[in-house]
Every structure is written in C-alpha cells, then in structure tokens.
Structure 1
C-alpha cells in the first residue's frame, strides 16, 4: 500500500567565499537520530510541516511573502496557508539545525544579532526545546519577523517509500553572507559541514560522505554556478521548479 507523503521543506544555505575563482560553499548537516527526518546521511536543514506552521500566528511572521504569493509559486499545495507554511518551516529548521535565524527587524532591515542577542537566542531555543514556548511565540517575543523573502523556492522531490515516513519535500535556496556567524551551539544537527557542491559530490562518489538522494541531486543542480547569487537569480527566473 502506497504511503501518503508528508509535506516538508528544506533550505540550501550558500555562501560565497572570499577570493577570485572560488566556488560558493553549501551547508550540509547530519541530524540526531531522534529528529525523525532523513537522519544518518548528510542533507540540508529541514523538517516536516507541522500544524502550527500554518496557523495565523505563524503566517503573520512573514510580511515579505503572503499566503497568496506563496500559493502562486506553489500551485500544487493543498491551500495557501500550507504553501506559506513551507516557507515558515524552512526557516524554523534553519534556526533549529543550522543555527542561523534569518529575520528582519521592525524597520525591515536584515537582523544582524549582537553578542547579547546570540545569548538571548540560545536561551530562547532551550526554552523552545523544553516545550516552555513555541517558535512563533519566540519570534513575537523577540519582535522579529522571518525573512521569508530571502528564500527562493526552486525544487520539489519525494523521499523513497521505504523506510517510512515518506516526505514531499519543498526545496528552498538562500544566500548567507560569509561574515555571518551562527549561534555558538547546535541543537538538532550533530555535525555541520561547509563544502562546495563539487567537493561534496566527489566525497560522496569516493564513499567518504553519505548523502540523501535528494541532496545529491540538488548538489548536481548547483555545481555549475560560480556564485550563490547566480544560482538564486537563475532559479528565481524559472517559470516552474525543478523536479527531483
């Protein structure tokens, strides 16, 4: 009997390296075994869509992308709220696994956390992990809004039917400045690697790096681009997303 795939989202974080002729690096993470979403092999930050991601309290965190705009880009989504929920869960897991909180301040500027802000975020994430708060409440307490406008929806794929659970995975692309520092600790991911697409694929071929099937396909798509901005601009212009 075929398993109905769960909606999920993942984010490819790219950063341009300083120096001429260098290819952009891509963040790969290995999740803790209890996280339940494609554990074991290296992949991109991501996770399953949860009901809270589609509630008004979460959708209100996205002033840069509306539910109607998300549905236009994702016409096969069940509803506009579930479409925008994919943007929400993508950034929620970028914070949970990659240690980056891509957010904007009230004036619309991209938030660059100070050292004191980073300490507050560590405390907030611990409270979230213990169940003392949830992600939208945490964001509202911080008075920050998710920078959903920085995400380019560029690919859609399905994980294998076995072993379960199976996911219908929406893939987003974004660029982080090389100077940006993540939080001083990692939660759901036990390892993080910054590699170029070519380096990661070569290590995978050599048996040195285990990748999920979707991850390997995405790396192949991104390998030709000399800059992160070039990859984003190319996929933003495409009328439809890549099928993985």
Structure 2
C-alpha cells in the first residue's frame, strides 16, 4: 500500500476536509534549493539538513535548504543577473512579482541555512568565501528579519545570480496539513571556493550524500524523507553528473499529495503511490 498514514488529530481533520466541513489553510509561497556538488566518483551529491525534532513542520525529516518567501524578497532594487523575474514567472506559471520573490527567497534561504551565496560583485562572478564574522552577523540578521535581502546585497554591492539556478519542480503541501507551503524547487551547483557549513538554527545535522544512498537509507528506515524530497532524489539519481542535472529539460508540473481512506486508514498519497509500496 502506498502513501503515508495519518496519525492523531490529522485523521479527523482529513475526514472533515474531505467532507467539506473544514477549509484548508492557504499555502504560503516558498522556495527550496537542491545544492549539488561532484562526489569522489564524479556522481552528484546533494546537501541535506535534518530538521530539529522540535520543529512544527517536517520535524526530524531530511530536507533541502529552503523556506517561505519574505514579502521584501520581491524588492525591485535588487541587482540581478540571469533570467528575469518575468522569465522565471513563465517557467513556474506565476506572476513576475511572485517569481522575483521566489528566486530571491531561494538564494536568501540557502545562504541562511548553509552559508552558500549565489551572488557576486558582478554578473560574471560569485563571492569566494562567506565564512567570516561579518558574513555570519549578516546571516543571523537575515534570519531574524532585522536585515532585508535587498539591503544585504546592496550594502555589499552584490548582484544576485539567477543564472546559477535551474527550475526543477513545484510542490504544494497536502490540504490536511495545518502549515502549508506552495514551493518551487530549484537546483544549483556549489560555487567554486564556497563551502556550506553546519550553521544550526532549524537543522541539527547536515550531510552531503549521494541521492541513491539517501533513498536506500530511507527505505531501511534510517532516515525520514518526505514525498517531495524522495521524488526529487529519485529524479536526480538518474543523472550521472552535476552538469547533466543542470542541463536537464524540465517541464514544471504541480504536485499536491491528496488524502484517501483505505480500509479505514487515512493516508497521504500521490497518484503514483497507489500499489507502489512507496510514500
């Protein structure tokens, strides 16, 4: 049987939503970045964070860096290199303003959660090192929202490199959840000279791992993966190099797992979960 069984109060909530007695919570715009590097054998490795057990959303799960869009992420003063917000909007089937916020949120959240920054002094460069105390102070100020992403880039005279991102997928949190996100997935290669670091915060563990290894660990119950992460890892594992991943032609299709009742048990499923034995 496919899918993920619901437990506790979500069971009744799912029944109420299916019966039309409860309205789903609106989904908030969010962005996620699959950060890639070449492993020892040349195969792609991905950067995963394990969310703290105390987190309200996806506690204990291994995820890619990402998070919700800050309204200030759509600031028009941000210097930009690469595909325009309008182009990203066409790719992700959304407005130009929303697309600007999504791309900026992707770059900002990855810096907040890994210390990796897709920006540089010019359109053809990327900062080589973000490990100093001044960078850390800015990272923390971004997290507590005392510093906007536009001001952060502007004060350092940096250009956002949207050309270093590639679109990958679009996932919406199931309607049964109390916290919901409308998330666009991006992929990006680790810039030369930069190195991610365990910066704490929402994650209590980080790791570089081959997608196939992460999937095997999940199958054996050693790590927890949500459906979007698992499917993305499966897709990336089909590519032999990071360059192949970045060159992949992607048609952005929206996925939103549904809720079904099977033999009295409420389960979250995708269409291809039925009969697959995978969640």
TM-score normalised per structure 1? 0.85
Asked if structure 2 preserves the Cα contact closer than 8 Å seen for 1:16 and 1:178, the reply is no
Asked if structure 2 preserves the Cα contact closer than 8 Å seen for 1:159 and 1:167, the reply is yes
1:1-244 to 2 correspondences below 5 Å? 1-19=23-41, 22-32=42-52, 38-57=58-77, 60-75=78-93, 77=94, 79-106=95-122, 108-113=124-129, 118-177=132-191, 180-183=194-197, 185-234=199-248, 237-238=249-250, 240-244=251-255
Q: RMSD value over aligned CA atoms? A: 2.3
C-alpha displacement of 1:181: 1.8
**1:132-182 C-alpha deviation (Å, 9 max, x unpaired):** 422221111111122211110111112222332111110001111575323
Partner secondary structure for residue 210 of structure 1: coil
C-alpha displacement of 1:56: 1.8
Deviates more, 1:45-54 or 1:8-17: 45-54
- Give ranges in structure 1 of 5+ residues lacking alignment: none
Q: Which runs of 4+ in 1 moved over 6 A?
A: none
Asked if structure 1 preserves the Cα contact closer than 8 Å seen for 2:80 and 2:162, the reply is yes
The equivalent residue for 2:268 is none
Please tell me whether Structure 1 or Structure 2 has the larger radius of gyration of its CA atoms.
Answer: 2
Q: Cα gap change, 1:113/1:89 in structure 2, threshold over 3 Å: closer, same or farther?
A: same
Q: Cα gap change, 1:95/1:35 in structure 2, threshold over 3 Å: closer, same or farther?
A: farther
Q: Cα gap change, 1:168/1:131 in structure 2, threshold over 3 Å: closer, same or farther?
A: closer
- Give ranges in structure 2 of 5+ residues lacking alignment: 1-22, 256-279
